[in-house]
Amino acid sequence: MAEQAILREVTLTLPLAPDMELAAGKTATAMAELMSMGADRIDEVRMAVVEACINAIEHSHSPDQKVELTFEVLGGREPEILRITVRDAGVGFSPGDVQEPTMEDKLKARRKRGWGLKIMKGLMDDVEIRSGSNGTMIVMTKARG
Amino acid sequence: MTESLKLTVDRRDALAVIHTEGYINNQSGEEIARVAYLLIEERFTTLLLNLTGTKIVNSIGISILIEIIEKMLEIDGKLAFCCLTPTIEKTFHIMGLAQYAAIYPDEPSALADLSGLAAAP
Protein backbone atom coordinates (compact mmCIF):
# COMPACT_ATOMS: atom_id res chain seq x y z
CA MET A 1 0.00 0.00 0.00
CA ALA A 2 1.49 3.34 -1.07
CA GLU A 3 1.99 5.96 1.62
CA GLN A 4 -1.17 7.98 1.97
CA ALA A 5 -1.63 11.54 3.09
CA ILE A 6 -3.68 12.42 6.14
CA LEU A 7 -6.62 14.37 4.74
CA ARG A 8 -8.50 14.87 8.00
CA GLU A 9 -7.64 14.14 11.61
CA VAL A 10 -9.67 14.27 14.80
CA THR A 11 -8.45 13.42 18.29
CA LEU A 12 -10.65 12.57 21.20
CA THR A 13 -9.84 11.93 24.85
CA LEU A 14 -12.45 10.13 26.88
CA PRO A 15 -12.63 9.16 30.54
CA LEU A 16 -12.68 5.45 31.29
CA ALA A 17 -16.33 5.51 32.27
CA PRO A 18 -19.45 3.57 31.32
CA ASP A 19 -20.95 4.33 27.90
CA MET A 20 -18.05 6.58 26.84
CA GLU A 21 -17.56 4.05 24.05
CA LEU A 22 -20.72 5.45 22.46
CA ALA A 23 -19.12 8.89 22.16
CA ALA A 24 -16.18 7.27 20.36
CA GLY A 25 -18.63 5.42 18.13
CA LYS A 26 -20.36 8.68 17.20
CA THR A 27 -17.05 10.28 16.22
CA ALA A 28 -16.12 7.23 14.16
CA THR A 29 -19.48 7.45 12.41
CA ALA A 30 -19.01 11.14 11.64
CA MET A 31 -15.55 10.57 10.18
CA ALA A 32 -16.69 7.61 8.08
CA GLU A 33 -19.65 9.62 6.80
CA LEU A 34 -17.29 12.45 5.91
CA MET A 35 -15.45 10.11 3.55
CA SER A 36 -18.71 8.74 2.10
CA MET A 37 -18.27 5.22 3.40
CA GLY A 38 -21.28 2.93 2.92
CA ALA A 39 -23.80 2.64 5.74
CA ASP A 40 -23.05 -0.98 6.63
CA ARG A 41 -19.30 -0.35 6.69
CA ILE A 42 -19.84 2.70 8.90
CA ASP A 43 -21.81 0.58 11.32
CA GLU A 44 -18.99 -1.98 11.38
CA VAL A 45 -16.44 0.75 12.15
CA ARG A 46 -18.62 2.07 14.95
CA MET A 47 -18.94 -1.34 16.55
CA ALA A 48 -15.19 -2.03 16.29
CA VAL A 49 -14.41 1.31 17.97
CA VAL A 50 -16.92 0.58 20.70
CA GLU A 51 -15.14 -2.73 21.34
CA ALA A 52 -11.69 -1.11 21.41
CA CYS A 53 -12.90 1.41 23.99
CA ILE A 54 -14.57 -1.25 26.08
CA ASN A 55 -11.28 -3.16 26.16
CA ALA A 56 -9.61 -0.05 27.57
CA ILE A 57 -12.43 0.65 30.02
CA GLU A 58 -12.55 -2.95 31.27
CA HIS A 59 -8.94 -4.05 31.21
CA SER A 60 -6.42 -1.20 30.98
CA HIS A 61 -6.43 -0.10 34.66
CA SER A 62 -4.90 3.07 33.29
CA PRO A 63 -3.70 5.39 36.08
CA ASP A 64 -4.88 8.48 34.18
CA GLN A 65 -8.31 6.89 33.66
CA LYS A 66 -8.37 8.01 30.03
CA VAL A 67 -8.43 6.57 26.56
CA GLU A 68 -7.16 8.59 23.62
CA LEU A 69 -8.48 8.11 20.12
CA THR A 70 -7.19 9.44 16.82
CA PHE A 71 -9.36 9.26 13.71
CA GLU A 72 -7.52 9.83 10.43
CA VAL A 73 -8.89 9.92 6.92
CA LEU A 74 -6.12 8.79 4.58
CA GLY A 75 -5.98 9.09 0.84
CA GLY A 76 -4.67 10.87 -2.19
CA ARG A 77 -7.05 13.00 -4.17
CA GLU A 78 -9.99 11.20 -2.59
CA PRO A 79 -10.43 9.77 0.91
CA GLU A 80 -9.65 6.07 0.81
CA ILE A 81 -8.99 4.69 4.27
CA LEU A 82 -10.18 5.44 7.79
CA ARG A 83 -7.48 4.74 10.37
CA ILE A 84 -8.44 4.73 14.04
CA THR A 85 -5.90 4.54 16.84
CA VAL A 86 -7.04 3.77 20.39
CA ARG A 87 -4.44 4.29 23.13
CA ASP A 88 -4.44 3.79 26.85
CA ALA A 89 -1.66 4.12 29.40
CA GLY A 90 -2.66 1.01 31.29
CA VAL A 91 -1.00 -2.20 32.38
CA GLY A 92 -0.92 -3.76 28.90
CA PHE A 93 -1.22 -7.39 27.94
CA SER A 94 0.42 -9.94 25.66
CA PRO A 95 -1.73 -10.21 22.53
CA GLY A 96 -0.05 -13.51 21.66
CA ASP A 97 -1.26 -15.03 24.92
CA VAL A 98 -4.90 -14.24 24.19
CA GLN A 99 -6.65 -17.40 23.12
CA GLU A 100 -9.17 -16.89 20.35
CA PRO A 101 -12.61 -17.48 21.83
CA THR A 102 -15.03 -19.99 20.36
CA MET A 103 -18.70 -20.49 21.15
CA GLU A 104 -18.04 -24.14 21.93
CA ASP A 105 -15.53 -23.20 24.65
CA LYS A 106 -17.53 -20.24 25.97
CA LEU A 107 -20.69 -22.26 26.38
CA LYS A 108 -18.79 -24.53 28.77
CA ALA A 109 -16.86 -21.77 30.50
CA ARG A 110 -17.98 -19.70 33.48
CA ARG A 111 -16.52 -16.58 31.87
CA LYS A 112 -18.35 -15.81 28.65
CA ARG A 113 -16.50 -12.57 27.91
CA GLY A 114 -13.34 -12.00 25.86
CA TRP A 115 -14.73 -11.43 22.37
CA GLY A 116 -13.56 -7.88 21.73
CA LEU A 117 -10.42 -8.57 19.69
CA LYS A 118 -12.12 -11.21 17.57
CA ILE A 119 -15.00 -8.84 16.79
CA MET A 120 -12.65 -5.97 15.90
CA LYS A 121 -10.62 -8.21 13.58
CA GLY A 122 -13.77 -9.51 11.95
CA LEU A 123 -15.28 -6.10 11.30
CA MET A 124 -12.22 -4.09 10.25
CA ASP A 125 -9.87 -4.62 7.30
CA ASP A 126 -6.79 -4.61 9.50
CA VAL A 127 -6.16 -4.52 13.25
CA GLU A 128 -2.73 -4.11 14.81
CA ILE A 129 -2.18 -4.34 18.55
CA ARG A 130 0.90 -3.06 20.37
CA SER A 131 0.91 -3.53 24.07
CA GLY A 132 3.43 -3.31 26.88
CA SER A 133 3.88 -2.11 30.43
CA ASN A 134 3.24 1.49 29.31
CA GLY A 135 -0.13 0.76 27.80
CA THR A 136 -1.88 -0.55 24.74
CA MET A 137 -2.34 0.89 21.28
CA ILE A 138 -4.82 -0.59 18.81
CA VAL A 139 -4.59 0.63 15.22
CA MET A 140 -7.53 -0.30 12.98
CA THR A 141 -8.14 0.52 9.35
CA LYS A 142 -11.07 0.20 7.01
CA ALA A 143 -11.18 1.17 3.36
CA ARG A 144 -13.98 3.36 2.11
CA GLY A 145 -15.13 0.39 0.06
CA MET B 1 -24.71 9.34 29.06
CA THR B 2 -26.13 5.98 30.05
CA GLU B 3 -28.54 4.71 27.45
CA SER B 4 -31.33 2.64 28.91
CA LEU B 5 -32.88 -0.36 27.22
CA LYS B 6 -36.63 -0.77 26.93
CA LEU B 7 -38.02 -4.28 26.87
CA THR B 8 -41.49 -5.50 26.04
CA VAL B 9 -42.62 -9.10 26.18
CA ASP B 10 -45.23 -10.65 23.93
CA ARG B 11 -46.40 -14.00 25.26
CA ARG B 12 -47.73 -16.13 22.43
CA ASP B 13 -49.34 -19.53 22.71
CA ALA B 14 -46.16 -21.46 22.54
CA LEU B 15 -43.34 -18.97 22.68
CA ALA B 16 -42.43 -15.57 24.04
CA VAL B 17 -41.06 -12.68 22.05
CA ILE B 18 -38.83 -10.14 23.77
CA HIS B 19 -38.63 -6.82 21.92
CA THR B 20 -35.62 -4.67 22.70
CA GLU B 21 -35.15 -0.98 22.15
CA GLY B 22 -31.75 0.58 22.79
CA TYR B 23 -28.11 -0.29 23.36
CA ILE B 24 -27.36 -3.80 24.62
CA ASN B 25 -24.45 -3.53 27.05
CA ASN B 26 -23.73 -5.23 30.36
CA GLN B 27 -26.63 -3.65 32.28
CA SER B 28 -29.22 -4.10 29.56
CA GLY B 29 -27.91 -7.61 28.81
CA GLU B 30 -28.56 -8.45 32.47
CA GLU B 31 -32.07 -7.05 32.15
CA ILE B 32 -32.74 -9.23 29.09
CA ALA B 33 -31.42 -12.24 31.02
CA ARG B 34 -33.65 -11.44 34.00
CA VAL B 35 -36.71 -11.33 31.75
CA ALA B 36 -35.65 -14.48 29.89
CA TYR B 37 -35.20 -16.44 33.12
CA LEU B 38 -38.64 -15.31 34.34
CA LEU B 39 -40.13 -16.61 31.08
CA ILE B 40 -38.28 -19.89 31.55
CA GLU B 41 -39.82 -20.12 35.03
CA GLU B 42 -43.19 -19.65 33.33
CA ARG B 43 -42.21 -22.74 31.29
CA PHE B 44 -41.59 -21.05 27.99
CA THR B 45 -38.92 -23.09 26.24
CA THR B 46 -38.74 -21.06 23.04
CA LEU B 47 -37.75 -17.41 23.20
CA LEU B 48 -37.42 -15.01 20.30
CA LEU B 49 -35.38 -11.83 20.73
CA ASN B 50 -36.61 -9.19 18.32
CA LEU B 51 -33.85 -6.59 18.00
CA THR B 52 -35.68 -4.18 15.69
CA GLY B 53 -35.09 -1.34 18.13
CA THR B 54 -31.45 -2.15 18.81
CA LYS B 55 -28.86 -0.66 16.50
CA ILE B 56 -25.80 -1.40 18.60
CA VAL B 57 -24.65 -4.11 20.97
CA ASN B 58 -21.34 -4.68 22.67
CA SER B 59 -19.45 -7.86 23.39
CA ILE B 60 -20.27 -7.80 27.10
CA GLY B 61 -23.96 -7.62 26.29
CA ILE B 62 -23.56 -10.46 23.80
CA SER B 63 -21.72 -12.55 26.39
CA ILE B 64 -24.82 -12.31 28.58
CA LEU B 65 -26.94 -13.45 25.63
CA ILE B 66 -24.61 -16.47 25.43
CA GLU B 67 -25.51 -17.24 29.06
CA ILE B 68 -29.16 -17.31 28.01
CA ILE B 69 -28.34 -19.62 25.09
CA GLU B 70 -26.52 -21.92 27.53
CA LYS B 71 -29.55 -21.93 29.81
CA MET B 72 -31.88 -22.71 26.92
CA LEU B 73 -29.67 -25.60 25.81
CA GLU B 74 -29.80 -26.98 29.37
CA ILE B 75 -33.60 -27.16 29.25
CA ASP B 76 -33.73 -28.36 25.63
CA GLY B 77 -35.15 -25.01 24.69
CA LYS B 78 -34.34 -22.58 21.96
CA LEU B 79 -33.32 -18.93 21.77
CA ALA B 80 -33.66 -17.25 18.38
CA PHE B 81 -33.13 -13.75 17.04
CA CYS B 82 -34.86 -11.66 14.42
CA CYS B 83 -34.61 -8.22 12.84
CA LEU B 84 -30.87 -7.78 13.34
CA THR B 85 -28.91 -4.98 11.71
CA PRO B 86 -26.42 -6.33 9.14
CA THR B 87 -23.55 -5.50 11.52
CA ILE B 88 -25.09 -7.28 14.50
CA GLU B 89 -25.83 -10.30 12.31
CA LYS B 90 -22.28 -10.27 10.95
CA THR B 91 -20.94 -10.05 14.51
CA PHE B 92 -23.02 -13.06 15.58
CA HIS B 93 -21.55 -14.99 12.64
CA ILE B 94 -18.00 -13.89 13.50
CA MET B 95 -18.53 -15.22 17.02
CA GLY B 96 -20.12 -18.46 15.87
CA LEU B 97 -23.25 -17.60 17.83
CA ALA B 98 -25.41 -18.22 14.78
CA GLN B 99 -24.60 -21.95 15.09
CA TYR B 100 -26.42 -22.07 18.43
CA ALA B 101 -29.25 -19.58 17.89
CA ALA B 102 -31.32 -19.26 14.74
CA ILE B 103 -31.44 -15.87 13.06
CA TYR B 104 -34.50 -14.78 11.10
CA PRO B 105 -34.88 -11.70 8.92
CA ASP B 106 -38.24 -10.73 10.40
CA GLU B 107 -40.69 -11.70 13.14
CA PRO B 108 -43.35 -13.38 10.95
CA SER B 109 -40.82 -15.79 9.45
CA ALA B 110 -39.43 -16.51 12.91
CA LEU B 111 -42.88 -17.17 14.36
CA ALA B 112 -43.84 -19.39 11.44
CA ASP B 113 -40.73 -21.49 11.90
CA LEU B 114 -40.57 -21.53 15.70
CA SER B 115 -44.25 -22.10 16.40
CA GLY B 116 -43.92 -25.65 15.19
CA LEU B 117 -41.07 -26.26 17.63
CA ALA B 118 -42.53 -24.68 20.70
CA ALA B 119 -44.71 -26.41 23.24
CA ALA B 120 -47.31 -24.33 25.05
CA PRO B 121 -46.34 -23.59 28.67
Q: Does B90 touch chain A (CB under 8 A)?
A: yes
Instruction: Locate the domains of chain B by residue range.
Output: 6-114
- Indicate if the alpha-carbon torsion angle B86, B95, B27, B68 is positive or negative: positive
Question: DSSP class of residue A134?
Answer: T
CB contact (8 A) between residue A119 and residue B97:
no
Supply the pTM of this predicted model.
0.94
Residue in B1, B62, B64 closest to A22 by CB = B1
Quick check: B14 and B47 in contact, CB under 8 A? Answer: no
Quick one: which H or E segment has residue B73? Answer: helix B59-74
B6-114 belongs to which homologous superfamily?
Answer: STAS domain (3.30.750.24)
Scanning every residue of chain B, which has its alpha carbon at the shortest distance from the alpha carbon of A25?
B56
CATH topology (fold) of A5-143: Heat Shock Protein 90 (3.30.565)
Instruction: Locate the domains of chain A by residue range.
Output: 5-143
CB contact (8 A) between residue B63 and residue A44:
no
Q: What is the pLDDT of residues A74-131, one digit of tens each?
A: 999 999 999 999 999 999 999 888 889 999 999 989 999 999 999 999 999 999 999 9
pLDDT higher than threshold 60 for residue B22:
yes
Scanning every residue of chain B, which has its alpha carbon at the shortest distance from the alpha carbon of A107?
B70
CB contact (8 A) between residue A18 and residue B64:
no
Q: How far apart are CA A15 and CA A39, in angstroms?
A: 28
